[in-house]
Amino acid sequence: MKKQLKAHKEALAGKLDRAVDGLTEEQAAELFLTILHNDMRAIVERALINQRKQVVEVFENWWDKYKVTLTEIEAKRDAAAKELRGYLQGLGYV
């Protein structure tokens, strides 16, 4: 199996070498630029994917941190103030 794979790789490399040797200078330049463009596109796409993941992680962190609404906070505050007033009245401070 390994011998067959190696033979196929060598055959493919030989075919590619012959095909490249048959290219004109303009065709070779165009091929080079196409390959370079595709490589750069892949690099940028990977970077974008990583950046998107980081943005999602930040927003998920913010959601976990700040998911309590202002209305909920105010309701808890009002309940605590009411309870405190009750204690203060019980102690005769109000």
pLDDT of residue 37: 97
pLDDT along the chain (94 residues), means of 10: 88 85 89 95 98 98 91 96 96 87
Count, residues in the chain: 94
- Separation CA 53–CA 75 (nearest Å): 35
Q: Quick one: pLDDT at residue 63?
A: 93
Looking at residue 42, its pLDDT comes to: 98
Per-residue model confidence (pLDDT) at position 73: 94
Which amino acid would we find at residue 82?
K
